[in-house]
Structure 1
Amino acid sequence: MPRKPSHTPESLADSALAQFWYGGYEATSMDTLVKKTGVSRHGIYTDYGSKRSLYLACFPRYHEHVVAPVLNPVFSSHDGLPAITAYFGRLIEMAEGIGLPGPGCFVANAATETAPHDPDVARKVSEHNTKLENAFTMALQREKKSQLPLAHRKALARIIAMFSAALWTSSRSTDNPETLRQHTAVFLDMLENRVK
């Protein structure tokens, strides 16, 4: 009788995500993946065929476990700027829960390490950024008192997404969540003044 697999492709990708997120792509060897995931080389190759394919499979897992819980409420909210403020509150709480200093944003890390020379990774990064920008554009559109045209709101949404990545990056170099909250408060104050 064949032995039941000790993992699923999804659980393997989740374990690999943690390693790639903290260790980076280039510094993570197959031996490291075997050790960290508890899955043999044969099992990894059977499920994904290569280290790179496993790495690419980590992006939707990151979105499901990390991005969606903090971003989806922005889409579903009826609020404008308060929805963006709440997003950053959730983001900082998540960073605290992971532990500070932390690994930063998996996608932002990929944007600097692997996306410049891997079109598939670059596409994943672009898709992630587009999701953020769409959510923030929708929130800004709900600010009915604002006279900003749509093009300006989209530009602001892009800047908010950039600040989100920058805040994650800052979380790699501080053990104090209040530092992140202070940065965010200043940014949100500037944003509110611009939207009015």
Structure 2
Amino acid sequence: MPRKPSHTPESLADSALAQFWYGGYEATSMDILVKKTGVSRHGIYTDYGGKKALYLACFPRYHQHVVSPVLDPVTGSGDGMAAIVGYFGRLVEMAESIGLPGPGCFVVNASTEVAPHDPEVAAKVAEHNARLETAFSTALQREQSTRLPMPHRKALARTIMIFSNGLWTASRSTDKSETLREHAAVFLDLLEYRLK
């Protein structure tokens, strides 16, 4: 009778995500993946065919575990600017729960380390950024307190996405969540001023 696997492809991707997120792609060897995930080389190759495919599988797992809990209320709340304010509060809380200084954003890390020379990873980064931008654009379209034309709101949504990625990056170099909250508060004040 064949032995039942000690892992699933999803649990393997979750374990690998933690390693790639904290350790980076290039510095993570197959030996490190075997050690950190507890899955043999054979198991990794059977499920994913190798390190690169396993890395790519980490993107949807990151979205499920980290991005969705913070971002989904932006589109689901029905609010405008209040939804964006809530998003940044949750983002800082997520960074706190992971620990500060932390690993930053898995996708932003990928955008600087791997995406510049890997089209598949670049596509994952673009997909992530588009998801953020769409959520922020949806919230800004619902904002009733502004006369700002829709094209300007869409441009602002892109700026919010860029700041969000930057705030995650800032979480890598501070041990104080108050610092992140101060950055967010200044940005939100500027955003609210622009929407007047």
Q: Shared topology, TM-score over 0.5? A: yes
Structure 2 letter corresponding to 1:170: A
Please, what TM-score do these two structures have when normalized by structure 1? Answer: 0.99
Instruction: Measure how far apart 1:145 and its partner are.
Output: 2.5
Structure 2 letter corresponding to 1:25: Y
User: Could you list the runs of 5+ residues in structure 1 that have no partner in the other structure?
Assistant: none
Residues 47-58 of structure 1: pairs in structure 2 closer than 5 A: 47-58=47-58
Counterparts of 1:149 and 1:120, CA distance in 2 = 35
**Correspondence for 2:91:** 91
Counterparts of 1:10 and 1:195, CA distance in 2 = 42
Report the more deviating stretch, 136-145 or 103-112. 136-145
Counterparts of 2:48 and 2:179, CA distance in 1 = 40
Moved over 4 A (4+): none
| Cα RMSD for the two superposed structures | 0.5
Instruction: Measure how far apart 1:127 and its partner are.
Output: 0.5
Structure 2 letter corresponding to 1:162: I
User: Could you list the runs of 5+ residues in structure 2 that have no partner in the other structure?
Assistant: none
Report the more deviating stretch, 88-97 or 145-154. 145-154
**Correspondence for 1:165:** 165
Please, what TM-score do these two structures have when normalized by structure 2? Answer: 0.99
Instruction: Measure how far apart 1:130 and its partner are.
Output: 0.5
Counterparts of 1:5 and 1:78, CA distance in 2 = 44
Report the more deviating stretch, 11-20 or 143-152. 143-152
Percent of pairs with identical residues: 77
Residues 8-19 of structure 1: pairs in structure 2 closer than 5 A: 8-19=8-19
Secondary structure, aligned partner of 1:159: helix
Residues 34-53 of structure 1: pairs in structure 2 closer than 5 A: 34-53=34-53
**Correspondence for 1:66:** 66
Describe the superposition over 1:51-89 as per-residue Cα deviations: whole angstroms up to 9, x where unpaired: 000000000000000000000000101211110000000
Give the number of aligned pairs. 196
